[in-house]
Chain A
Amino acid sequence: MNDLLESQYVVCELADEKYALGISDVYEIIKMKKITVIHNSKPFLEGVINLRGKIVPIVNLHKRLEVKNYTPTKSTRVVILKSRGEMVGVIVDKVNQVIRFTDIQAAPETVAGIDGDYFEGLGVTEEGVISILKIDKVLYE
């Protein structure tokens, strides 16, 4: 768990819950833009966007984590992640801050009804517990 403690995390919100993404996986954070739907593709794929000439797929994390679906607001952001050499964007309702956790605990079998395998662990802060997403798992399985 030590290397988890050393790294920084981007904290964002999905349906009023806080999640953390490892900063080394985050390529950039952009504002919501027009998403083109790809019909008959993966169920939680929202579509694709044009990121400076590159086609980047966008994943609907709300659907993936089975929380209430998002409605685009002023604070909605797309976090572009770099995973397995490819860029993939995820939609979050809000990006809060970048932090370092002082204590990280192993994730229990289920976290709020979601399979514990989706999480690296739970980061403890003064304001509460934040689940750290295991990006590879969330995006690919």
Chain B
Amino acid sequence: MESIYDNPEMIRAFIDELEEQLQLLEENILELECCGESPDVIQEIFRVAHTLKGSSSAMGFEKMKILTHEMENVLDKIRNHHLKATKPVINVLFQCLDHLRLLKEDFLTDRKDIKTDTSSVLHQLEKIMLGEYQKNENADSKDSEESVQQDKPTKFILDIEQQIQIEQAVHSGYNILVCEVRLEKESLMKSARAYLIMNHLNQIGTVVQVEPDILENGNDLLRDEIYYLLLSQQDGKTIESKVINELTEIESIRVYPFSWDMSKQQSLTAGFIKPEADNNANAKTADIERKVNQTVRVDVERLEKMMDLVGELVIERTRIAQVGSILHERYSSDNTIEELIGISNQVSRVTNELQEIVLKTRMLPIKQLFGRFPRLVRDLAEALNKEVKLIMEGEETELDKTIIEDISDPLIHIIRNAVDHGIESPEERIRLGKPPTGTLHISAYHQENNVILIVQDDGAGIDLDKVKESAVKKQIITAQEAASLTENEIISLIFYSGFSTSSTVNDISGRGVGMDIVKNHVDKLNGIIEVETKKGEGTKFIIKLPLTLAILTGLLVRINDEIYALPMSNVIEIVRKPVEEIETVKGQAITVIRDRILPLVWLHDYFKIPRKKKKKNNFIVVLGVAEKRLGLVVDELVGNQEIVVKPLGSYIGKVNTFSGATILGDGSVACILDVAGVAKMVGSIRASKADEE
């Protein structure tokens, strides 16, 4: 019989959950690091560890279970303020995260053979449990002890009655004490033991509250430490000795005064245990949270199929509308046709809405991707001894799932470059009169049907002379060519493969493989890259991407008698140029648009179809692909419309100039020009021509 562990659906669900939880874990550890300890964050991390423990043990994933279990122990200590989340502790938590990731990878490759060795990180966790880090930290941070004390009261959530009870007790001269009892690990029936202690304490004074609440979840006490809030006239030391002497199976007891502050009560309790209904606002947010979390996991394939169907609907919608208007022209007096057009409009509206919703189901907030960057930047800065402040904006911007996946590598490359080559060391920055901490600004926003991603640093900027020099040395260009390059052209040199200005190769960058990967990925997504740089002030990468790859706005153009579609995201502008303004330089037709020289392309030549008779004015569609620009001369602009991208299929295979085909309103097929492919084809043919000469 098939074991539950081999059920592919179970495994997929497990992996999905794992990914989500690990992301959450990372976010929260980072927050813990930058914003300090807060009950919310600790609770969240604890919850993640707990969830992972549960699911990994259900999957029979022993190593992960053990690791998460140990994490849970440490986090529990932090949660109960026995341990402060200091830098070394956070570093160990990061290590745990990395190991969990490795475990996940192992699990994906071969479940039977988990290679990752977790013993070192387990050992570290153990050390934390034994309090080794704590001692060191206490020695050099003087305020930590204080804050431990201050944070104590969060353990007890008191209702009004109990608060009054305590207040009265204070007035009558009672001591308010916290008895922290640690039971022996081997002790059986812990809740019964805890109950006994409570009874005993009740003889000494009055127990106001017990945490964890042994009365409520009686059989469920799994923890070794129990806290009693006690009102008593005796002092702490006496109680300590009494309990230790009169009761068995207690490892240790510590009694200390309960520092109690009315005003703190409300704010501090919020994250710990959900407050009762007395706090209305909190209850409401919890409600909203619950709503947000109501999701259903859907197989991506199903979404894809849905997208296909909607795509077909979009095509038919356009056709119905077209047929409708033809009929209307033909039989303008017929009422039935009026009705048909009404129906057609309604169908259009519904289809539009449906399309939008289906598109949205495939969209994910870019937060998914951005979430990885704080860690990346932190690690990079640490490794390079730099100080970098990361500012992220527009994390909620939504983007097609596949695009998010494909853009992640390029963005990581750009960020690495920015931290490694862009931002200077703190000393250097001070010398230059800049603040020692560099700023890396990553933002995303929507602009029409595109998403704009910007990565901007305030570092050294790209040294154009050095780029030129390096390009000549690497024989990408000749010295002669170098002299006549414009600023933009120099910048575009960094996208050549093998190009690097860095004289040293390190782990992070400098191998010269980064930027051409960036370019290729952005090309593939029909995107555009622009680079703005100023020496000494920083560099800005602007990436423009289409919202989705399945349905796009296309510009339909006519080349001779054939109609072609161009992805709108590649179209920069459309200009009309009289024949006189088109010049030829070394056999290449060019024109100048706003001081920028633009090579012109007649696809007629490449497709071996005749060019139309010379007209007075030529329509030129300015296309951009990654950092390249070229002008496509077309015979007619047909219009723009939503087009559904359909693959040409494996029989035809890859055709360089086309990324697919689409079906037009009249039912005919139009090819979608792959602008990157066109640029490449033009380049290669030009190169072979040059060789012949």
Chain A residues within CB distance 8 Å of chain B = 34, 36-42, 45, 47-50, 53-57, 86, 88, 139
| A40 with B657: CB separation less than 8 A | yes
Please judge, given known A-B contacts A38-B652, A42-B652, whether A53 and B668 are in contact too, CB under 8 Å: no
| A39 with B608: CB separation less than 8 A | yes
Considering the chains assembled together, what is the distance between the CA atoms of A34 and B562 in angstroms? 12
| A86 with B658: CB separation less than 8 A | no
Q: Kindly identify which residue among B562, B646, B647, B648 contacts A37, using a CB–CB cutoff of 8 Å.
A: B562
The chain A residue with its CB closest to the CB of B559 is A39
Write out the residue numbers on chain A whose beta carbons fall within 8 Å of the beta carbon of B681.
40
Write out the residue numbers on chain B whose beta carbons fall within 8 Å of the beta carbon of A42.
652-653
Please judge, given known A-B contacts A55-B647, A57-B649, A86-B649, whether A41 and B669 are in contact too, CB under 8 Å: no
Give residues of chain B (628-683) contacting chain A, Cβ–Cβ below 8 Å: 646-653, 655-658, 661, 663, 667-671, 681
Write out the residue numbers on chain B whose beta carbons fall within 8 Å of the beta carbon of A45.
652
Give residues of chain B (242-288) contacting chain A, Cβ–Cβ below 8 Å: none
Distance to closest chain A CB from B75 (angstroms): 52
The chain A residue with its CB closest to the CB of B656 is A40
Q: Is B331 an interface residue (CB 8 A)?
A: no
The chain A residue with its CB closest to the CB of B312 is A53
Please judge, given known A-B contacts A40-B657, A57-B649, A86-B649, whether A50 and B607 are in contact too, CB under 8 Å: no
Q: Kindly identify which residue among A38, A49, A50, A139 contacts B648, using a CB–CB cutoff of 8 Å.
A: A38
Considering the chains assembled together, what is the distance between the CA atoms of A88 and B655 in angstroms? 17
Q: Please give 5 more A-B residue pairs, beta carbons under 8 A apart, in addition to A45-B652, A57-B648.
A: A38-B648, A53-B316, A53-B663, A55-B648, A55-B663
Considering the chains assembled together, what is the distance between the CA atoms of A47 and B661 in angstroms? 11
| A50 with B668: CB separation less than 8 A | yes
Considering the chains assembled together, what is the distance between the CA atoms of A56 and B608 in angstroms? 23
Write out the residue numbers on chain A whose beta carbons fall within 8 Å of the beta carbon of B649.
55-57, 86
Write out the residue numbers on chain B whose beta carbons fall within 8 Å of the beta carbon of A50.
663, 667-669
Please judge, given known A-B contacts A53-B312, A55-B646, whether A38 and B562 are in contact too, CB under 8 Å: no
The chain A residue with its CB closest to the CB of B670 is A36
| A49 with B669: CB separation less than 8 A | yes
Write out the residue numbers on chain B whose beta carbons fall within 8 Å of the beta carbon of A38.
648, 652, 655, 658, 671
| A41 with B312: CB separation less than 8 A | no
The 7 lowest CB-CB distance pairs between A and B, nearest first, are A39-B607, A36-B669, A53-B312, A57-B651, A55-B646, A50-B663, A55-B661
Distance to closest chain A CB from B131 (angstroms): 64
Considering the chains assembled together, what is the distance between the CA atoms of A56 and B649 in angstroms? 8
Please judge, given known A-B contacts A36-B670, A86-B649, whether A48 and B661 are in contact too, CB under 8 Å: yes
Write out the residue numbers on chain A whose beta carbons fall within 8 Å of the beta carbon of B316.
53
Considering the chains assembled together, what is the distance between the CA atoms of A48 and B649 in angstroms? 10
Q: Is B307 an interface residue (CB 8 A)?
A: no
> What are 14 A-B pairs at a CB distance below 8 A?
A36-B668, A36-B670, A37-B562, A38-B648, A38-B658, A39-B607, A48-B652, A50-B667, A53-B312, A55-B647, A55-B648, A55-B663, A57-B649, A86-B649
The chain B residue with its CB closest to the CB of A45 is B652
| A41 with B652: CB separation less than 8 A | yes
Considering the chains assembled together, what is the distance between the CA atoms of A42 and B653 in angstroms? 9
Write out the residue numbers on chain A whose beta carbons fall within 8 Å of the beta carbon of B315.
53
Considering the chains assembled together, what is the distance between the CA atoms of A39 and B607 in angstroms? 6
The chain B residue with its CB closest to the CB of A48 is B669
Considering the chains assembled together, what is the distance between the CA atoms of A86 and B681 in angstroms? 28
- Give the number of chain B interface residues (Cβ < 8 Å): 28
Write out the residue numbers on chain A whose beta carbons fall within 8 Å of the beta carbon of B652.
38, 41-42, 45, 48, 57
Please judge, given known A-B contacts A57-B649, A86-B651, A88-B651, whether A36 and B607 are in contact too, CB under 8 Å: no
Considering the chains assembled together, what is the distance between the CA atoms of A56 and B524 in angstroms? 24
| B648 with A48: CB separation less than 8 A | yes
Q: Is B606 an interface residue (CB 8 A)?
A: yes
Distance to closest chain B CB from A115 (angstroms): 21
Per-residue A-contact encoding for B211-245, CB less than 8 Å = 1, 0 else: 00000000000000000000000000000000000
Distance to closest chain B CB from A135 (angstroms): 12
| B671 with A36: CB separation less than 8 A | yes
Write out the residue numbers on chain B whose beta carbons fall within 8 Å of the beta carbon of A36.
562, 661, 668-671
Write out the residue numbers on chain B whose beta carbons fall within 8 Å of the beta carbon of A39.
606-609, 657
Per-residue A-contact encoding for B356-376, CB less than 8 Å = 1, 0 else: 000000000000000000000
| A41 with B655: CB separation less than 8 A | yes
Please judge, given known A-B contacts A50-B663, A57-B648, whether A40 and B607 are in contact too, CB under 8 Å: yes
Considering the chains assembled together, what is the distance between the CA atoms of A55 and B670 in angstroms? 10
Write out the residue numbers on chain A whose beta carbons fall within 8 Å of the beta carbon of B658.
38
Considering the chains assembled together, what is the distance between the CA atoms of A36 and B655 in angstroms? 14
The chain A residue with its CB closest to the CB of B668 is A34
Distance to closest chain A CB from B54 (angstroms): 42
Distance to closest chain A CB from B312 (angstroms): 4
The chain B residue with its CB closest to the CB of A85 is B650
Considering the chains assembled together, what is the distance between the CA atoms of A47 and B648 in angstroms? 10
The chain A residue with its CB closest to the CB of B646 is A55
Considering the chains assembled together, what is the distance between the CA atoms of A47 and B606 in angstroms? 17
Distance to closest chain A CB from B658 (angstroms): 7
Considering the chains assembled together, what is the distance between the CA atoms of A139 and B649 in angstroms? 14
Considering the chains assembled together, what is the distance between the CA atoms of A101 and B310 in angstroms? 45
Distance to closest chain B CB from A53 (angstroms): 4
Considering the chains assembled together, what is the distance between the CA atoms of A40 and B647 in angstroms? 17
Write out the residue numbers on chain A whose beta carbons fall within 8 Å of the beta carbon of B646.
54-55
Considering the chains assembled together, what is the distance between the CA atoms of A41 and B661 in angstroms? 14
Considering the chains assembled together, what is the distance between the CA atoms of A86 and B657 in angstroms? 22
Considering the chains assembled together, what is the distance between the CA atoms of A48 and B653 in angstroms? 13
Considering the chains assembled together, what is the distance between the CA atoms of A51 and B335 in angstroms? 32
Write out the residue numbers on chain A whose beta carbons fall within 8 Å of the beta carbon of B669.
36, 47-50, 55
Write out the residue numbers on chain B whose beta carbons fall within 8 Å of the beta carbon of A88.
651
Interface centre among A36, A42, A56, A57 (most CB of B within 10 A): A36
The chain B residue with its CB closest to the CB of A52 is B312
Distance to closest chain B CB from A4 (angstroms): 25
Write out the residue numbers on chain B whose beta carbons fall within 8 Å of the beta carbon of A47.
669
Distance to closest chain B CB from A138 (angstroms): 13
Write out the residue numbers on chain A whose beta carbons fall within 8 Å of the beta carbon of B312.
53
Considering the chains assembled together, what is the distance between the CA atoms of A36 and B607 in angstroms? 13
The chain A residue with its CB closest to the CB of B311 is A53
